Structure 1
Amino acid sequence: MARPNPTLRQRRLGAELRRMREQAGFGGSQLGRAVGMNPAQVTQMESGKIGISVERLRTIASACMCVNQPLIDALADIITEREKPGWWEEYRGTLATDFLEVAELEGHARRLSTYTITFVPGLLQASVYASAVFSQAFPPPPRHEVDLRTAFRIQRQRVVRSGGTSYSAFIHEAALRMQFSGPKVLTEQLDALLEDSEHPGISIRAVPFDIGSLPGPSENFTYAEGPIPELDVAQMDTGHGSQLYDSPAHLASFREILTRTASVALSEDESRDFIRSIKKEMESKRG
């Protein structure tokens, strides 16, 4: 029976199987004949709407002449996962799918890196700041929706605060100065950043205005490392919602952006001093 709403991981498995087929130069009908599937089944498999066994995966890999054993093993691990549904599933039906997929992406990542230019990254937002960010959406969401989104965002932060997933955040000065509800809220957020910067699993580095130019795109993005580089995923916030990127070319581009950002960002100690200086300015504005 076809899944009506395959998860992010299920769709990624299907995408990798499609990429494997295309690299072998096969059409869907050709692959189907080689492994005993009809074209409709191949299409559903590649969209994540039907699952396959590990045995079928290895048959497909052999037919497609794939010799990337680490990739095959990593895909087999996705198939054989017997974990309970992620905590984010509790919110299915009450929050938009984009919110759930970001949490799913973070929940399965081996390491996370973010670059933000318009606001402090969600994984480091204080509750009062997150609420202010959501309240500024257009059109403005109702109060109960703001509260729901805020609670979900705070719950997402457990993935890095637990120490289980290392996290690097590059935050542009524009984001450090952006006020969503006045200097008091920003001051509280900067305080929270300073506290998080001392966490052993969290690295916070500021990107000041005076570096001369942006090292990457003007959108905020997250780079999630998988068990192997081929299964990394980049997620970008855009004006049209969340966008996911997993092609080799896109992933290489995002890795280069992170490398360039790391080369111009302040060190962790310098960043703490920089954040303190901005916080002092905000406190003076509060009088």
Structure 2
Amino acid sequence: MALRTNPTLRQRRLGTELRRMREQAGLGGSQLARQLGINPAHVTQMESGKTGLSVERLYTIAGMCMCDNQPLLDALAEVIADRGKGGWWEEYRGVLPVDYLEVAELEGHAKRITSFAMVYIPGLLQTRSYASALFTRGPLPLLPQEVDLRTTFRLRRQQVVRSGGTPYLALVHEAALRGQYGGRDVLIGQLAALVEDSEHPGISIRIVPFEVADFPIPSEDLTHLTGPVPELDTVQADASYGSHVFDLPAHLSRYRATLEHIRSVALQEDESRSFIRSIMEEMQNRHD
């Protein structure tokens, strides 16, 4: 079997879970390879996502590692069964940065999505005009066709929550509601879209006003993507240096606690809707 040169995020996560399973059992890669009757390099390749494995081999490895976490094994077996079933984002491979594809891949397989945005309206809720303005005014100059491509990709990502199949909680700081990145009219249109989205049955938008000071302010925008089992949860962070993915248990626990604290101090849905409307009216009444 030929090695994968660019394994997907999901393939790499499967390999990571295999490595954790082995390490928790106190087995070295060479020890596991000897028990399986394969080359140690093959174990390394499986754990890096560069080569696949069958469901049967997954359960063989689980037995050797004394892993009896059936829900986790069932979830990993589903990942294996899904190989070759690329998502819509694969159409953009080689055209857009890999980070873009991996965010869409995470969202496409999440059971629930929770995000916190401090500076910008969350990508899953941005209008075309707002998203285009962000790409146009970004740190790197982009040609108009690149701006259009990235904007179209971002709007296509939104189908995962607009379809109603994936519940979405957006925690948004007031600062993000006031950033006029594309001008006042673009912001007013974006705020009107947020009000409309807040009434969608699968979307919950809750605002954190400036006056709320008692909450841990993350240094980056965060998205918690709930997996089929807690062990397969993922946190994705957007920072100035790019996108980063966290899946270590300690990291997941910390970010879950952070988002839960923010949720506990955010306005309720009806209050948030009224708050967004008040800022929109303020912008509409403001004279240049």
TM-score with structure 1 length normalisation?
0.97
Q: Does 1:53 align with 2:58?
A: no
CA distance, structure 2, for counterparts of residue 24 and residue 86 of structure 1: 34
Secondary structure of the residue aligned to 2:211 is helix
Distance, in Å, in 1 between the alignment partners of 2:45 and 2:287 is 58
**Structure 2: how far apart are the matches of 1:286 and 1:206?**
25
Asked whether 1:129 is paired with 2:130, we answer yes
Distance in 2 (CA, whole Å) between partners of 1:83 and 1:18 is: 22
Which whole-Å deviations, capped at 9, do the CAs of 1:105-139 have from their partners, x for residues lacking one? Answer: 00000000110001000000000000011111112
Matches within 5 A, 1:1-150: 1-81=2-82, 84-150=85-151
CA deviation digits over 1:190-236, x for unaligned, max 9? Answer: 00000000000000000111111443412111111111111011100
Per-residue CA deviations over 1:138-182 (Å, capped at 9, x if unaligned) read 122111111100000000000000101110000001111111121
Distance (Å, rounded) in 1 between the aligned partners of 2:3 and 2:92: 22
AA matched with 1:150: T
Give the SS at the match of 2:286.
helix
Letter in 2 for 1:107: G
* Other structure's SS at 2:129 match: helix
| Distance (whole Å) between structure 2 residues aligned to residue 259 and residue 216 of structure 1 | 12
How many correspondences in the alignment?
287
Q: Given the alignment of the two structures, is residue 156 of structure 1 paired with residue 153 of structure 2, yes or no? A: no
Q: 1:188 matched to which residue of 2?
A: 189
Instruction: Point out where structure 1 has 5 or more consecutive residues left out of the alignment.
Output: none
Q: Would you say the 8 A contact 1:206–1:271 is kept in 2?
A: yes
In structure 2, what residue type is equivalent to 1:145? E
Query: In structure 1, what residue type is equivalent to 2:115?
Result: T
CA contact (8 A) 2:222 2:238 kept: yes
Q: Which runs of 4+ in 1 moved over 6 A?
A: none
TM-score normalised to the size of structure 2? 0.97
* Fraction of identical pairs, as percent: 62
Please say if residues 215 and 261 of structure 2, whose CA atoms lie closer than 8 Å, have aligned partners that are also in contact: no
**2:161 is aligned with 1:198:** no
CA–CA separation in structure 1 for the residues paired with 2:219 and 2:287: 30
Question: 1:268 & 1:154 partners in 2: Cα distance?
Answer: 24
**8 Å contact from structure 1 (residues 115, 222) kept in 2:** yes
d(CA) in 1 for partners of 2:286, 2:9: 44
Any idea what SS the aligned residue of 1:181 has?
coil
* Aligned-partner Cα distance in 2 for 1:151–1:139: 18
After TM superposition, give the deviation of residue 80 of structure 1 in Å.
1.0
CA RMSD of aligned residues (A): 1.1
Alignment of 1:246-261 (within 5 A): 246-261=247-262
| Matched AA of 2:260 | T
Unaligned runs of 5+ in 2: none
